[in-house]
Amino acid sequence: MPRPTHRISPSLRVTFAIALSLLIGVLPDTAGAQGGRTRETPTWREAITRYNAPGTTRVDGPYALEAAGRSVGDVAVLTGPVRIAGTVAGSLIAVNADVRLDASAVIDGDLLVLGGSLDRAPEARVGGEIRLQAEVLRYQLEDGVLVAEEMGLRDWLPADARDRAPRGTSTELFHVSASTYNRVEGLPVLTGPKLRRRTAWGSIDLAALGLVRTAGPVAWDRGSLGHDASLQLRIGEAKAIAVGARAFDRIDAIEGWQISNTESGLATWIAHRDQRDYYGRHGGELTLGGRAGGYGSVDLFVGRERWRSVESRDPVTLSRAREAWRPNPIADVGVVDLRGIRLSIDTREKLRSPLTGGWFVQADVERGRGRLLLALDPRIMSMLSFAPILPQDVAYTRGFLDARRRTRIAPGTELSLRLVTGGSLGGDRLPLQRRVSVGGPGSVEGYDFRRAPNDAVDVFTCGGIGIWPGDATQCERMLLMQAELRQPIGFDWRIGGDDWSIGIDERPSWVLFADAGRGWMRPGTGDLALEVAGIPALGTFRTSLGLGIDFGGLGLYVAKAVSTGREPMNVLLRVGRRF
């Protein structure tokens, strides 16, 4: 049989080209000055400079400014927490401190938050720039002067050799979860040495990490062990060019965009419900990319990977421990050469820019070519039990786009929109590792995860339900649209006085939302009920409506399918914002 011609669908090619062009266009120019200062200066360095300035008021520990209070000049706080209800007549710098801005808070200058979170009432006003750094700042005070400090090679050298060690060099024994808790690995833990060396032109980062999977049965084999080693050369700081190399043996999710890692891990550990599928990746990758401050990045990548199927194991859970896990679906097996581009933009905290602020975008285009042993429908496998199954040459192009926009339409009222689309852009049928789906928490929330709706055609997984082990998804393309309107609840959730209080620190909000999405197959794939050329008619999308209350870190929602009347109502507990 001749192999299909590798040709991108005209309609989807135009759609992705326009979308990526527009999104690249909103990548902010972080070189703009404010008061003669450019964004070339990293946030941590700017915070140290302002802390050490002669006119700065310095506080070590909790800091609270009441509604009637007013500071004189800049205020810098170490460790915190910080609560502002009055006016800061300058800038506020919070180092390793959480910051809360009440509705009456006014900051005339900039707000810099390092190693902490920002809880800002919609009515709070910041006259300057808001800059956030998630990483904790390691520092020391030398005669009242704040100095950045890292656990460096100098700390491990003999005393007579420390002065000869280059400044800006650091090393540490690093350990962190490689990914979220799941039914294939349990808790995968990365551990090993990391080295960073700062240079006059940028920095060098080197990591050699081993990976241990804790799901039983634990053995010294490939099922329990892996690795992830990387080297990155970074030229510049706020605006930088980065060149990287990576070698890995990991297990990754086939689709991980619907819900966060935290939600997925908690559902697995507590409720014995894993809402992702997994496959093994062993190979290497080279990257060349650019960074624009903390707001955006573009990476070109090329690599080679060996893909494999993995099976569910026996991780520890807090409930239903004796029940069997949902089987992890079989996947295609073989070696694939990959190349493509990745784009990331996050300007949701750049609130003073009406056009470029409020965006979150992740997009990628991947071109794959290799030789794979294709996983077949179990019904076909039974008929071919005595026939050899040979690897096939595969060449495909796949794209993915997740674009979100937050807009304040009135004081305290926020409208959020989201568009997610992805799938085949041309070539052969996508490998199972690159298929897509919708339905369940994080997408169309009025429907359950991996359960076909009560109608004739399954547009969520395109026929995977009840056919493939583990209910694997089969869709080659999908489209999801979401809208959310939120309004703070206008009363105080705390009781008490200045010395003590009980209640909720976060500012709860009512949330109204609507979801619409579906998946489909390309023409010529063999399922006429699911084949669509271009974008399906809107009347074929599955839709749901819902409402709930968001406490900041935890949300309780009720969602009801409206396109399929017989679907029951869903009650969902979500960690963090929906999107």
Residue 286 and residue 170 share a domain: yes
Q: Is the pTM of this model over 0.75?
A: no
The answer to whether residues 199 and 294 belong to one domain is yes
* In a domain? residue 420: no
81: cis peptide before it, omega within 30°? yes
Helices and strands: H and E segment counts in the chain: 5, 30
Q: How far apart, in whole angstroms, are the C-alpha atoms of residue 182 and residue 165?
A: 42
Question: Could you list the residue range(s) of the whole structural domain that residue 171 is in?
Answer: 151-328
Residues in a beta bridge with 526 = none
Q: Which parts of the chain sit beneath pLDDT 70?
A: 1-41, 149-178, 237-238, 293-294, 349-355, 376-389, 452-456, 464-469, 491-506, 526
Helix/strand/coil for 330: coil
Q: Give CA separation, 391 vs 226, 369, 375, 473, in Å.
A: 26, 13, 10, 21
Closest CA to 259 of 441, 418, 483: 441
Residue 202 lies in a domain: yes
- Bridge partners (DSSP) of residue 289 are 242, 299
Residue 90 sits in the same domain as residue 196: no
pLDDT value, residue 371: 95
pLDDT of residue 29: 39
Q: Would you state the structure tokens that stand for residue 463, as one six-digit string?
A: 């026929």
Is 508 among the domain residues? no
| Same domain membership, residue 316 and residue 229 | yes
3-class SS of residue 72:
coil
Q: Is 57 exposed, middle or buried (0-12, 13-18, 19+ CB in 10 A)?
A: middle
Residues 137 and 157 in one domain: no
Query: What is the pLDDT, as a whole number, of residue 212?
Result: 92
Of 147, 164, 183, which residue is a domain's last? 147
What does the DSSP 8-state code read for residue 49?
H
- Phi, psi (degrees; rounded to nearest 5) at 330: -65, 155
pLDDT of 27 reads 39
* Domain total of the chain: 2
> By the 8 A CB rule, do 407 and 379 touch?
no
Report which residue type is found at 253. A
Residue that terminates a domain, selected from 275, 304, 328? 328
Helical (H) or strand (E) element with 107? strand 106-107
